[in-house]
Chains A and B, each alone.
Chain A
Amino acid sequence: MSDRNPEYDFKWCPGCGDFGVRRALEWAMHAYTEKTETPMSNSVIVAGIGCSGNLVHLVEGDQPFGVHGIHGRTLPVAFGVKQARPETNTIVVAGDGDFLSIGAEHIGPAAQRNLDITCVVMDNGVYGLTKGQASPTTQFGVMTSSTPFGKLEAAMKPFEQYLAHGVSFIGSHYSSRPRDLAKLIGAAMDHRGFSIVHVQSPCTTYNDTFDLLKGNKKLGIAPLVYAIPEDHDPNDKRAAEEIARAPGVPLGIIYREECPTLEDLQEDVRKKARSRTAAEMVETYSL
């Protein structure tokens, strides 16, 4: 429920990581509009289905346009949104279930095209909205309502997947530091090409990993998050692969590569191709 929408009855659970991600995204979008001197309405948030997708209805302040479509299909819709008007600042928000399970088939094509869009993936390692089933990033052996004898699949390693697909910007963060996260999302928006910011955004009801992420001295838990060393060169794919394989949750830019976007290549094609009217096309079939 918000001022703009008194009927909207969806609520994130208290303490949900998605609150922080929403704030970070709002800040990043504001910074983007200031820097590019474009209106907020030039941004489109394409949201997946799940707790995270509801972010599109919960944005406060200046409103971007939004699409809240079909489970797993954020990237196809974002592809159309971006190509329809390449100056559109196109942002995907989706959860680990939406993006990495049902929607996984779309990551490869988007990366190979180097589509100039920014994805913010909220990873909580569980299907929360359907009340706690295993997701691709749920760890091996974990008991959930759909894995009563423990999960039988190894957890997916998103960063290794992204690198293998050729995603040209890979960032990693968690939801508890929205200021830093906003900067990372901003860098992803600035990147010309396909960028993914993968955010650990814990589910306080079904998979509360805050203690694991931040660490808890009293309980003797060492933090999973760690800052990527300053001397890491994001252009170095081998170094990026090492980070991707290492345990823990890195904070910062894992990988970044400058290469032509699909929009650039399309522009070249447009210059080469001759545009004909329907009347001219009809003529080519004349007897």
Chain B
Amino acid sequence: MGKTDLVVRFAGEAGVVTSAESLAATAAQAGYHVQTYATYPSQILGGPVHTQVHISTCPTLSDGDDVDVLVAFSEDGFNNHKDALVSDGVIIYNSGEFDPPGDSHSFGLPFDEIAKEVGNARASNMVVLGAIAPLSNFPLEALKDYVTKRFTRGRPGDEKIVEANSLALDRGAEAARTSGFHLTELDRPIRPDYEQIMISGNAAVAVGAVQGGLDFYAGYPISPATTILVWMEQNLVGEDRFTYQASSEIEAIGTIIGAGFNGRKAMTATAGPGIALMSEGLGFAWMAEIPCVVVDVQRGGPATGLPTKTEQSDLFACMYPAHGDVRMPVIAPGTVEECFYAGALAINWAERYQGPVIVMSEMQMAERSQNIPKPDVSKVAAVSREVYTGENGYQRYDTDELGPMPLPGGPGAYVANASEHDGMGDSTHLPIRHIRGMERRFGKLKLLNDGPYEIENPHAAITLMPWGGSKGTVREAYLQLRKEGVDLGWLYSMTLHPLPEAVSEELGRKELVIVPELNYQGQWSSLLRSDGYKATSITQYTGLPFKVRDLVARIKQSIEAHKGGKILV
């Protein structure tokens, strides 16, 4: 029996991203499940980059703890990553660039030289991928198919490029075969019997939002949310659609509020610094009850923080972005697949309760590629707010239940007011207005307690409750712990506020809720405690995702500490 999983890491500078993407696409086309992970510095070109491809015969949940094959494009890449290799792993290094001191795990290959020899200097990636194939019994033919598909673009010279790349694959494979190295064979893929797409978290949120009826987007470039703006500029175009690059995050939030007020389903996407700048606007949208959606693709913070690293540290900022009493509806998808549904749900929620909604994604999920079941868009409904069609003199804000919303051009003119207001939106200081306004704005959140959730092993006194992008890794740890016989529950909600009733009830029954999360303060467990639940966090603040191995150990520690009467905080 072979291996079910293969993890390949590419480290160095140039070529790292293309190699990983090509390998991931090939593996997915061949029928494997894949998930990539990339980390790079905040600069335009080069710098220490590494990308990782986790290939598996089962659906992948994490980017993989340990590396089976390390491809070192540079000496730095070799030195910085050689320790991540499993004991029987292999390092392929670019011997045209450097020669590391004798190492029993590695063999050199002059990537660029071979590429030149086959007649295409840009085919060095394929030399590398060709070498990976025989090492792990990865199908070389799949790589050849990929090359043929990728470079057959109907241009003159296509054939020559395909030929050179194919030759590069052969040369790499041949070198690996004669190297004497071999990994445990990777099992043949079990091709899924459902249709698949290969997509990133950011693209999935964007497509999902369009399915929810998104027709207006304004955004400002910021890592790692920029790809959503670029996607919108290319895709949210044509009849009755609007996309525009705003001059700042402050302008972006104002613009989508104006559009939401005037009947559009409007969205922006940003990262932590942008959330800070949008906070006043979010308070306004909450106060004046204007539908709009803000996607926060989290990165390391605070301040400029770690712009290209992953973290889950904006939860406080997203839940309570504004001054005064607010608590935003927050949707935090846990997987690339959920990103699609979160995008659609956010638009629908904003319409249904007439107010701002926040989607919390994060760098590691936003930028990774993953093959997921093709979303059945026909099953995702687009909900639209009810529009007021009665007589003038309508008191929009003075209805007991949420009423229809008047739109400019139609009847029911009112003022969307950031100050406390009466039924038609005129400012007032009467205590009864503030009381009723406050209760109305919080009260209508009950319309949103229908988010998707998962409850498993509910009889266990202690449960795990991951949130957002850590879900997959925590899931892998959970499955391993259950296999070891640990009595542990699983609780997950894609919506963090409001929580579905069943989730609140389950939380209330638990002796301990363990929340692994990528921040210092243990933000989600802190919010759970403030809501009266017994929760503790397992935190990590490295700018990197969790490792399954670490989680398994720390969850055990948490349980032990609890049983000894101590709760780790």
Task: Kindly state whether residue A25 has any CB partner on chain B within 8 Å.
Answer: no
Q: Render B6-31 as a binary contact track against A, CB cut-off 8 A, 1 for contact.
A: 00000000000000000000001100
| Distance in Å: Cβ of B324 to nearest Cβ of chain A | 13
28 of the cross-chain contacts (CB-CB < 8 Å) are A41-B392, A44-B261, A56-B415, A73-B280, A73-B281, A81-B258, A84-B260, A84-B261, A87-B409, A88-B262, A105-B247, A106-B247, A273-B237, A275-B238, A275-B239, A275-B240, A275-B241, A276-B235, A277-B210, A278-B208, A278-B211, A279-B378, A282-B197, A282-B207, A285-B203, A287-B28, A287-B195, A287-B196
**B210 interface neighbour in A76, A82, A278, Cβ under 8 Å:** A278
A77 and B416 CA atoms in complex are apart in Å by 11
Please give me the residue from chain B that is nearest to A76 by CB atom: B254
Judge whether A246 is part of the interface by a CB distance below 8 angstroms: no
The chain B residue with its CB closest to the CB of A57 is B426
Other A-B pairs, 13, CB within 8 Å; known A42-B409, A269-B237 = A41-B408, A44-B261, A66-B413, A68-B425, A76-B246, A80-B218, A80-B260, A84-B263, A106-B251, A108-B247, A266-B242, A285-B199, A286-B374
Instruction: Let me know if A7 and B426 touch, CB within 8 A.
Output: yes
Contact A83 B255, CB 8 Å, known A8-B428, A41-B408, A281-B210: yes
- Near A by CB (< 8 A), chain B positions 403-450 give 406, 408-411, 413-419, 422, 424-430, 433
Cβ of B216 and Cβ of A84 under 8 Å apart? yes
B417 — which chain A residues lie within 8 A by C-beta?
66-69
Q: Are A69 and B371 in contact (CB under 8 A)?
A: no
**Inter-chain contacts of B416 with A (CB < 8 A):** 66-69
Chain B nearest CB, measured from A50 CB (Å): 12
Once bound together, how far apart are the Cα atoms of A20 and B524, in whole Å?
Answer: 54
What residues of B have a CB within 8 angstroms of the CB of A66 in the complex?
A: 413-417, 425
Please indicate the chain A residues that have their CB under 8 angstroms from the CB of B371 in the complex: 287
Query: Is B248 an interface position by the 8 A CB rule?
Result: yes
Contacts of A42 in B (CB 8 A): 408-409
CB B361 to nearest CB in A, in angstroms, measures 17
Select one of A63, A281, A285, A286 contacting B392, CB under 8 A: A63
Compute how far the CA of A98 lies from the CA of B255 in the bound complex, rounded to whole angstroms.
17
Q: Are B418 and A88 in contact (CB under 8 A)?
A: no
B471 vs chain A, min Cβ distance (A): 21
Instruction: List the A side residues contacting B195 at CB < 8 Å.
Output: 286-287
Cβ of A140 within 8 Å of any chain B Cβ, yes or no, is: no
The reply to whether the CB of A270 lies closer than 8 angstroms to some CB of chain B is yes
Q: Which of A83, A274, A286 interacts with B244 by CB under 8 Å?
A: A83
B29 in contact with A287 (CB, 8 Å): yes
- CB proximity of A55 to chain B, nearest CB, Å: 11
Indicate if A64 sits at the interface (CB-CB under 8 A).
yes
Contact residues in A for B280 (Cβ distance below 8 Å): 70, 73
In the assembled complex, the CB of A130 is this many whole angstroms from the nearest CB of chain B, namely 15
Of chain A, the residue at the smallest CB distance from B344 is: A278
Q: In the complex, A39→B413 CA distance in Å? A: 11
For chain A, residues 39 to 60, give those with C-beta under 8 angstroms from any C-beta of chain B. 39-44, 46, 49, 54, 56-57
Chain A residue at minimal CB-CB distance from B197: A285
B90 at the interface (CB under 8 A from A): no
Residues of the B chain whose Cβ atoms lie less than 8 Å from the Cβ of A109: 247, 251
Contacts of B374 in A (CB 8 A): 282, 286
Q: Is the interface of B mostly helix, strand, loop or mixed?
A: mixed
Q: Are A81 and B408 in contact (CB under 8 A)?
A: yes
B255 touches A77 (CB 8 A): yes
CA A274 to CA B241, docked complex, whole Å: 11
Which residues on B are within 8 Å of A, measured CB to CB? 28-29, 195-199, 203, 207-208, 210-211, 216, 218, 235, 237-242, 244, 246-248, 250-264, 266, 280-281, 284, 288, 371, 374-375, 377-378, 392, 406, 408-411, 413-419, 422, 424-430, 433
Residues of B within 8 A of A84 (CB): 216, 242, 258-264, 266
Q: Measured between alpha carbons, how far is A65 from B410 in the docked complex, in Å?
A: 9
What residues on A are CB-neighbors of B408 within 8 Å?
A: 41-44, 65, 81, 85, 88
Q: Given A66-B415, A279-B377 in contact, is the A76-B251 Cβ separation under 8 Å?
A: yes
Contacts of B411 in A (CB 8 A): 41
Taking a contact as CB atoms under 8 Å apart, the answer to whether B258 and A282 are in contact is: no
| Closest Cβ–Cβ distance, residue A106 to chain B (whole Å) | 6
A85–B262 CB distance below 8 A: yes
Q: A68-B416, A70-B284, A286-B195 are in contact. Are A278 and B247 (CB under 8 A)?
A: no
Q: Contacts A73-B250, A77-B258, A287-B198 given: A41-B410 contact, CB under 8 Å?
A: yes
Shortest beta-carbon distance, A132 to chain B, in Å?
Answer: 21
Whole-angstrom distance from the CB of A94 to the nearest CB of chain B? Answer: 13
Please provide the 5 A-B residue pairs with the shortest distance between their CB atoms, ordered closest to farther.
A80-B258, A76-B254, A275-B238, A273-B237, A66-B415
Contact in complex: A8, B256 (CB < 8 Å): no
Cβ B377 vs Cβ A80 within 8 A: no
Q: B415 and A81: CB pair below 8 A?
A: no
Contact among B238, B240, B284 with A276 in the assembled complex (CB-CB below 8 Å): B238
Q: A281-B210, A286-B374 are contacts. A4–B259 as well, Cβ < 8 Å?
A: no
Determine the residue in chain B with the shortest Cβ distance to A108: B247
Instruction: Decide: A70 near B254, CB < 8 A? Known: A63-B413, A285-B203.
Output: yes
The reply on A5 being an interface residue by CB < 8 A is yes
Cβ of A263 to closest chain B Cβ, rounded Å: 10
Chain B: minimal CB distance from A187 (Å): 23
Measured CA separation A234–B427 after assembly (Å) = 40
Name the distance in Å between A46's Cβ and chain B's nearest Cβ: 7
Contact with B along A250-287 (1 / 0, CB 8 A): 00000000000000001001100111111101100111
A78 to B288: give the CA distance in the assembly, Å: 15
Min C-beta distance of A279 to chain B, whole Å? 5
Residues of B within 8 A of A277 (CB): 210, 377
Q: How far is the CB of A152 from chain B (nearest CB, A)?
A: 27
Residues of B contacting A57 in the complex (Cβ-Cβ under 8 angstroms)? 415, 426-427
CB proximity of B262 to chain A, nearest CB, Å:
4
Residues of B contacting A69 in the complex (Cβ-Cβ under 8 angstroms): 254, 257, 284, 288, 416-418
